[in-house]
Structure 1
């Protein structure tokens, strides 16, 4: 008969694990589980998930002579090992209280309530105290200790002793083996976290590779421009060398970290100085910049300005009518950055390809910036084809 209870409980455990797996696949919950740090709202949502799973474990339990063989401890401990005491303690208290109030006549109600609270506190203590790779092992161990507390309390508090011993003899092995479910629940979250890190590492590698490809001829063109100024305007040549060194320093220091927006604008202005000299001041640049101390990903603005100049202004018949406006405006909780030109205007197919994640030909810089913004802020560029020209906007925040 004990073998039957073991098999049935393993089925119940599998049901909880699969239910948790399905929940983790939902976009709203997966995005939470992928985070490195959880805010109060995240922990509240996660806590609700584990409270519900713990209560389901009680309702889905197996009744045996006044006891309920269930998976409640599995979910409580999993919540503590994975997300800490702010998840496991509420899950332990509420699901334990539910067990006590839902079946007040059950002889094991008090032991189950006490052990549920203990499991919530005990598992929460292990959060961040053990390496990620050992979460599953320690989780199973904590689950077994918690269920042994249940067994000891049943023996001490339940009468008659013969019935208490009969219950213990019947449910002990299934309860111990059932704790393997903690390992499966932990592995689900570990897999989500690993997948996220792998994706981020791959994206960063792609971004670095893309960044190195942005307009590789620019340096050669800049050097030719400087060489031409050396003979008739040495001071201008010296100024351009400083601009080029500033531009190159920013590119060589690129590591996709956040930098002060003022430093980013130094690189933008260095690029513009060189391009204006190269095209005999055919480029009209307007700045509308609020004073802000926000930090942004490096090399975000310059590729957009380059795109406006190279693909918007320079192909025009009358380049001297071309204008690029760079705007940085403080909003309530965000900073809006926009690059607007009155050039030829971007092709609608290019916009569609960028939004679909397809890198358009000759638009590596634009595509790169869009992906990097999505990586940092979950929202990329807003690109609009104007009656004359193109408007590119995006938002950043601290």
Structure 2
């Protein structure tokens, strides 16, 4: 009999763990689990997830002589060990109350209600006191302690005593062994955190790579342009030196920390002023910038503008001028950033290569921007070939 219930409960535990694994793979929830700090909204979503899993576990439980053998405690403790009391205490209280009201006359309903709340409190307290590396072990231990509280309460509260003892003998081992499921649920989130750290390492490597790609030809051409202005327009030469200084300083300060979009636009303007000095009337740049206060990864917009000028405008027929529009629009919850040119238009093969990760070396700047945006926002560049020119967009969440 005990073996039958043990096998049945392990199946229920496996189902719970598998369901949580599927939930954790959804981008909406995965992006929350990857964060180092959680907002109130994030914690509310996480609490709903673990509360729902705990309630589902009760419904999916095994009935035995007035008791319901289930995996409710696994969800409550996992939420507390991983995310703290803000998640586990509401989950423990709501799931415990649910367990009580669906079987309010049952002899184990009160013990289960109390132990659910205790599981939420104990795991929430343990969250801040134990190292991350030990969460799986302590989660299993607290799960076992919580279920022992359930058993003790059944023994002392539930009547008749003979029936209570019979229930305890049948369900004790399955409940205790089932707590191994906590270890699996904790491990799922730890794997997500590990993947995030690996992404961060890749991100830093890509940022370092991009930082080293300050085009030496641009510097050389900029200095030649400044030298030519020194002879007939010293004031313009001074302005270009300031623009070049701003451009270089921005590149040298380049790191993986987000910066104000206003600072990024200043970098773009410094770059554009030098290019306009080089190409004169051939190049026109329009800025359509809303007053927004958001942060974005550094050196994101300038490579897009550079790409529009070099591969769009300057590739047009000789003596034909071109226009680039740099736009930052406030859409409420998001900010849309776009760079549009009326040049020759991007090749469809380039768009295909970018989305497939097979970019040629002369377009590596565009690909790096696309990849970094995906790492930060899980969505890269949207590129459209227009009837005349190219439109590149991306979105920044607030």
**Structure 2 gaps, min length 5:** none
Matched, 1:208 2:226: no
1:199 is aligned to: 199
Within 5 Å, which residues of 2 pair with 1:22-41?
Answer: 22-41=22-41
1:67 is aligned to: 67
SS in 2 for 1:137: helix
- 128-137 vs 55-64, greater mean Cα deviation: 55-64
Matched, 1:185 2:188: no
2:82 is aligned to: 82
2:150 is aligned to: 150
Within 5 Å, which residues of 2 pair with 1:169-180?
Answer: 169-180=169-180
TM-score, length-normalised on structure 2?
Answer: 0.86
Instruction: Tell me, in whole angstroms, the C-alpha distance in 2 between the residues paired with 1:281 and 1:182.
Output: 67
Structure 1 residue 331 displacement after superposition:
4.5
2:243 is aligned to: 243
Structure 1 residue 146 displacement after superposition:
1.1
Instruction: Tell me, in whole angstroms, the C-alpha distance in 2 between the residues paired with 1:107 and 1:160.
Output: 9
**Do the aligned residues in 2 keep the contact of 1:283 with 1:320 (CA within 8 Å)?**
no
SS in 1 for 2:68: strand
SS in 2 for 1:68: strand
**Do the aligned residues in 2 keep the contact of 1:214 with 1:365 (CA within 8 Å)?**
no
Matched, 1:277 2:285: no
Within 5 Å, which residues of 2 pair with 1:333-348?
Answer: 333-348=333-348
Structure 1 residue 187 displacement after superposition:
0.8
- 267-276 vs 53-62, greater mean Cα deviation: 53-62
1:299 is aligned to: 299
- 16-25 vs 147-156, greater mean Cα deviation: 16-25
1:351 is aligned to: 351
1:141 is aligned to: 141
1:98/1:242 Cα in 2 relative to 1: closer, same or farther (>3 Å)?
closer
Structure 1 residue 253 displacement after superposition:
0.7
- 22-31 vs 108-117, greater mean Cα deviation: 22-31
Structure 1 residue 303 displacement after superposition:
1.1
1:131 is aligned to: 131
1:175/1:291 Cα in 2 relative to 1: closer, same or farther (>3 Å)?
closer
Structure 1 vs Structure 2 CA RMSD? 2.9
SS in 1 for 2:127: coil
1:12/1:345 Cα in 2 relative to 1: closer, same or farther (>3 Å)?
closer
1:60/1:390 Cα in 2 relative to 1: closer, same or farther (>3 Å)?
closer
Instruction: Tell me, in whole angstroms, the C-alpha distance in 2 between the residues paired with 1:256 and 1:137.
Output: 34
SS in 2 for 1:340: strand
**Do the aligned residues in 2 keep the contact of 1:284 with 1:320 (CA within 8 Å)?**
no
SS in 2 for 1:51: helix
Instruction: Tell me, in whole angstroms, the C-alpha distance in 1 between the residues paired with 2:310 and 2:101.
Output: 72
1:102 is aligned to: 102
**Do the aligned residues in 2 keep the contact of 1:66 with 1:106 (CA within 8 Å)?**
yes
SS in 2 for 1:298: coil
**Structure 1 gaps, min length 5:** none
**Do the aligned residues in 2 keep the contact of 1:313 with 1:319 (CA within 8 Å)?**
no
Structure 1 residue 365 displacement after superposition:
2.0
Note the alpha carbon deviations across 1:217-275, whole angstroms, 9 max, x for none.
22233234344455565555444333222211111111032223332233222222322
1:315 is aligned to: 315
1:14 is aligned to: 14
1:62/1:205 Cα in 2 relative to 1: closer, same or farther (>3 Å)?
same
TM-score, length-normalised on structure 1?
Answer: 0.86
Instruction: Tell me, in whole angstroms, the C-alpha distance in 1 between the residues paired with 2:98 and 2:273.
Output: 70
Instruction: Tell me, in whole angstroms, the C-alpha distance in 1 between the residues paired with 2:155 and 2:335.
Output: 64
SS in 2 for 1:286: strand
**Do the aligned residues in 2 keep the contact of 1:290 with 1:330 (CA within 8 Å)?**
yes
Instruction: Tell me, in whole angstroms, the C-alpha distance in 2 between the residues paired with 1:59 and 1:395.
Output: 42
**Do the aligned residues in 2 keep the contact of 1:211 with 1:365 (CA within 8 Å)?**
no
